Chains A and B, each alone.
Chain A
Amino acid sequence: MTSPAVADPFAASPLLRRFADTSREQLEVYQLKKVQALCARLYAKSDFYRAKMDEGGLKGGSVDSLDRFTKAFPTSNKADFLADQQAAPPFGTRLGVDRDDVVHISMTSGTSGQGQETYGRTQRDIHMLGYLHALPWYMGGLRKGDTAYNCVPAGGLTTGGWGPGEALRIIGATGFHVGGNTSTEAKIDLMMKVGGMNFIYASTNYLHTLTEALLARGIVPREAFPDMHGLFIAAEGYPLEWAAKIEEHWGCRLQEGYGSTQLNGFGGSTGSAGVFRGDGRGLIRLFEWESMVEIVDPETGLPVKPGELGEMVVTNLSVEGSPVVRFRTGDAARYVPWQECGGGAWNAIECGTIGRFDDMMKIRGNNIWPSMIDAAVFEHPEVGEYAGRVYTRDSKTEIEVRIAVAEHQSGLSAEEREKLVKSVRAAIKARTNVWMDVHEVPRDEFKGFAYKARRWTDERQDGYRL
């Protein structure tokens, strides 16, 4: 792609250059040292993890190699954490620090429906939370003195609500936190009033919503905000066609990060390279000196091969309170080893395609992820939003996809709309091998699709109720 390059972050930071110039061997020596310290601390201070280490034969919390660690330390998952919390509220027995060192409680969002994990963070963790947002944003072009427009709801229960504010203070940028209850129209009014925007942080879906709303008002983002030099998205997949349009509308490079509460911020980002690699998908390089990320086959637990899709298993190397050790995230990513990344010792995952294993839908024998349908639908720039529903009719699985034309495309004729529906249907079939029923609905039907889009409902169980 030809979006303007970001100012070289490595040239401006000797420390970051050191991180980038490290060898794989040095990185793994450091990881082992951190893992050893972590295991020793948790063996002494965490009943939850001591039991895990005893179960894996790591007596006294002793770990002599990363290979032994990944083979012997049993994984944990959300259900394990919830059970631990229930037995010893509020943090469970995995806290790992003294209770009076906890200054902040973070919870996961609860969108899984299983329950919310609770994390107790120390003062140092809160700084690291900011740093683990500041690091990818710095690489993505954010600098001291910039005005950053944070569209993610600030504060609240989740880690993602607190990281951005800390990060912008650490960088020395001016934070403008407009997320949350402010409507998109009001946000645009504020953007225009304050002016001088240099950086935007938003969920993928919200950047889409914001861009569409600006265009609908006849505002061309690259003209209204000529000093914008960084767009940073997270949380959801997208088609490259959409990313290219976004870069064109804003006149600057799009970056992506992979983060979570379990990572205490971002665990990797596209750095300054953007979401394209040639004409294909770019790479999220993992910050492996802050977190170990294994990418494994969810069935066997063994590492996947290069290019394969696997589940990310995460171990914190710099978190004090409620650290995660070999935590099964349920997040699905395509693994790209460091040797195939064109330089540097950090492993990577493909950007734009991170999904959830528990979002996978088995439809007529095919494994289908919502991100596949996102890609098919949004390769059509005329589409503003969509939603899908899987249901049972006469004992048969049916799939309905409702699409809405973008507000700035409202001039489409009936014939063009009919053609669009047919094209979306064919694109979905091409990507999923399944024919789906596609029809158009008014754009208003999707108002309120703001921060994190949950576009799919699976109602197949309902069809079997008597």
Chain B
Amino acid sequence: MSQEKNDTAILTEMLAMADRLIARDDALMAGQYTHLRSRIAALIEVRSFADMESAE
């Protein structure tokens, strides 16, 4: 697996973990968990052009 693929696989796992945190019922943490998830989602977005090429 190339380094690029690895990076996105890690980020995808992190996204799933962040989703689990968001599902917790804590009003103080809810926005912060969403912030964390969005940062991970953005990194996946940043990489997505290169990842599409790898998938072809």
Interface residues of A (CB under 8 A from B): 14-15, 18-19, 22, 26-27, 29-30, 33, 122-124, 126-128, 131, 289, 318
Q: Could you tell me the distance between the alpha carbons of A194 and B38 in the complex, rounded to whole angstroms?
A: 34
- B49 close to A22 (CB less than 8 A): yes
Contact B49 A128 (CB under 8 A): no
A30 with B52, Cβ < 8 A, contacts A15-B4, A15-B47, A123-B34 known: yes
- Is there contact, CB below 8 Å, between B39 and A18? no
CB neighbours (8 Å) of A27 from chain B are 49
**B35 near A123: Cβ-Cβ < 8 Å:** yes
B45 within 8 A of A: yes
Distance in Å: Cβ of B53 to nearest Cβ of chain A: 6
| A123 CA / B38 CA spacing, docked (Å) | 6
Nearest opposing residue in chain A for B34, CB measure: A123
Tell me the B residues contacting A by CB distance below 8 Å: 3-4, 34-35, 37-39, 41-43, 45-47, 49-50, 52-53, 56
Alpha-carbon separation in the docked complex, A29 to B52 (Å): 9
| Residue of A14, A26, A318 touching B53 (CB-CB under 8 A) | A26
Known: A124-B45, A128-B45, A318-B45. A19 touches B38 (CB 8 A): no
Contacts of A122 in B (CB 8 A): 38
Q: Could you give 30 example pairs across A and B, Cβ below 8 Å?
A: A14-B3, A14-B4, A15-B4, A15-B50, A18-B4, A18-B49, A18-B53, A19-B49, A19-B50, A26-B52, A26-B53, A27-B49, A29-B52, A30-B52, A30-B53, A122-B38, A123-B35, A123-B38, A124-B38, A124-B39, A124-B41, A124-B42, A124-B45, A127-B38, A127-B39, A128-B42, A128-B45, A128-B46, A131-B46, A318-B45
Contact, CB under 8 Å: B3 / A22 = no
Closest to A31 in B: B49
Closest chain A CB from B45 CB (angstroms): 5
Query: What residues on B are CB-neighbors of A33 within 8 Å?
Result: 52
Q: Closest 10 interchain pairs by CB?
A: A123-B38, A127-B42, A18-B50, A289-B49, A124-B38, A124-B42, A124-B41, A30-B52, A30-B49, A127-B39
Q: Contacts of B37 on A, CB cut-off 8 Å?
A: 123
Task: Tell me which of B34, B46, B47 has the highest count of chain A C-beta atoms within 10 A of its own C-beta.
Answer: B46
Report chain B residues within 8 Å CB of A30. 49, 52-53
* A126 closest partner in B (C-beta): B38
Highest count of chain B CB atoms <10 Å: which of A18, A22, A27:
A18
Cβ distance A288 to chain B, nearest Cβ, rounded Å: 10
> How distant is A58 from chain B, measured CB to nearest CB, in Å?
23
Q: Is the CB of A22 within 8 A of B42?
A: no
Within the assembled complex, what's the spacing in Å between the Cα atoms of A128 and B38? 10
The chain B residue with its CB closest to the CB of A123 is B38
| Chain B contacts for A26, CB-based, 8 A | 52-53, 56
Q: How far is the CA of A414 from the CA of B46 in the complex (A)?
A: 58
Residue on A with the closest CB to B53?
A: A26
Q: CA–CA, A271 to B13, complex, Å?
A: 33
CB contacts (< 8 Å) of A127 on chain B: these are 38-39, 42-43
B42 (CB) vs chain A CBs: closest residue:
A127
A126: chain B residues at CB < 8 Å are: 38
Q: Judging by beta carbons under 8 Å apart, are B45 and A123 in contact? A: no
Tell me how far the C-beta of B10 lies from the nearest C-beta in chain A, rounded to whole angstroms: 14
Q: How far is the CA of A94 from the CA of B52 in the complex (A)?
A: 28
Cβ of B50: which chain A residues have Cβ within 8 Å of it?
15, 18-19
For the complex, give the distance between the alpha carbons of A126 and B37 in Å: 13
Inter-chain CA distance A409–B50, complex, in Å, is 51
Instruction: Specify the chain B residue showing the minimal Cβ separation from A132.
Output: B46
Name the B residues within 8 Å of A318 (CB-CB). 45
Closest to B56 in A: A26
Instruction: State A318–B45 Cα separation when bound (angstroms).
Output: 7
Q: Which of B34, B53, B56 has the most chain A CB atoms inside 10 A of its CB?
A: B53
For B56, list chain A residues within 8 Å (CB).
Answer: 26
Distance of A27 Cα from B48 Cα, bound (Å): 12
